[in-house]
Amino acid sequence: MKKYHLKISHTFEENLKRIVSFKSKYDLNSANNFKNWVINILEDLEFLPNRGFNLANNTKSIIYKNHLIIYKVESDVVNIIDLVDPREFTYFQKYF
């Protein structure tokens, strides 16, 4: 099975930190579970980058607990672009 290289954006990293920090104020276990899930999904994308659903501009997304990992597959690279909560509509709409 082909392995893709992951390229993680600064925006994605900052949003992950922000979301985990917010969740940890209310439930540390939930925050840790969320972060671990994101890591597992990123590891899966190394081998199965086309498993998400299509968005505009050749981007793709995977949903977990109302959050979307936005990414783009280009050749042998999976560019991890962002992690968003669709309830933040004005921020999220740039992907449509």
Per-residue pLDDT of 9-40, as tens digits, reads 999 999 999 999 988 999 999 999 999 999 99
Q: According to the model, what pLDDT value does residue 92 have?
A: 54
Buried/exposed 41-78: b ≥16 CB within 10 Å, e otherwise: bbeebeeebeebeebeeebbbbeeeebbbbbbbeeeeb
CATH number of the structural domain spanning residue 52: 3.30.2310.20
A 10 A CB-CB count for 20 gives: 16
Instruction: Output the pTM of the full model.
Output: 0.85
Within 8 A by CB and 6+ apart from 57, the residues are: 72, 95
Structural domain total, the chain: 1
pLDDT reading at 49 higher than 70: yes
pLDDT reading at 96 higher than 60: no
Total count of residues recorded for the chain? 96
Strands (E), the chain: 5-8, 53-54, 60-64, 67-74, 77-84
Instruction: Give residue-wise pLDDT tens across range 60-76.
Output: 999 988 899 999 999 99
Q: According to the model, what pLDDT value does residue 15 have?
A: 93
User: What are the beta bridge partners of residue 53?
Assistant: 61
Domain that holds residue 62: 5-95
